[in-house]
Amino acid sequence: MTGTVIPEAEVGYIFLTLEAQTVPVTVAEIQPTAENSIGIDLGITNYAYLSKGEQVENARCLREYAQKLARRPSKLASRVKGSKPWKILKGKISKLAQFVARARLDSQFKTPHKLFDKCDVWVVEDLSLKNRSKRVPAKTDIEDGTLVDLPNGQGAKSGLNKSILDAAHGQFTTVLKYVAGK
């Protein structure tokens, strides 16, 4: 038996893990065919494009609450650290962040369950998520003996990075494996 304590906004969770020796392990083998298989291409505009021509909408959980999340830390900076108003505002920020995270996870659990009604075998692209959200390298040039920074498009890339991270494709593949295992 193992236990884990996870603190979150205003509440915490204790996870206990028990190992049962008497539960049999069964593995069902499914042969992939064109009728029971579906390919999933993960995207940003639409969350996923399916091989049968369908599209799954992107929930965009962070974009909906981005203004509130951006405004509150600046308000927090104007408060005296450790004071009662500071603690109240800190609690509101963590509750809002927790709400966004839970909304994202909820939509990511609903998507595989919808897909399971359509097929038995899923084929998902293997993405390098770390490389998709990297910064653009700086561009420099030497003019008149001084080092000058050139425009490199990082402003546009940072908006794209936010959308990539909001989609949370890495978390989706983990949820997909969990739902498939069930």
Does residue 25 form part of some domain?
no
Does residue 118 form part of some domain?
yes
Does residue 51 form part of some domain?
yes
Q: Which of 75-79, 87-91, 127-131, 160-164 has the lowest mean pLDDT?
A: 127-131
Total domains in the fold of the chain: 1
Q: What is the extent of the structural domain holding 115?
A: 36-128+172-181
d(CA 60, CA 102): 12
3-state secondary structure (DSSP) of residue 21:
coil
Q: pLDDT digits over 125-177, tens only?
A: 888 877 777 788 888 888 877 888 888 888 788 888 888 888 888 888 899 88
pLDDT above 80 for 9: no
pLDDT above 90 for 84: yes
Q: pLDDT digits over 21-34, tens only?
A: 887 777 777 888 88
Does residue 31 form part of some domain?
no
Does residue 158 form part of some domain?
no
- Name which of 61, 170, 175 is nearest 114 in CA terms: 175
Does residue 18 form part of some domain?
no
Q: Is there a contact between 158 and 133 (Cβ–Cβ < 8 Å)? A: no
Residue-by-residue DSSP string for 35-87: TTEEEEEE-SSEEEEETTS-EEE---HHHHHHHHHHHHHHHHHHSPTTSHHHH
Does residue 113 form part of some domain?
yes
Does residue 140 form part of some domain?
no
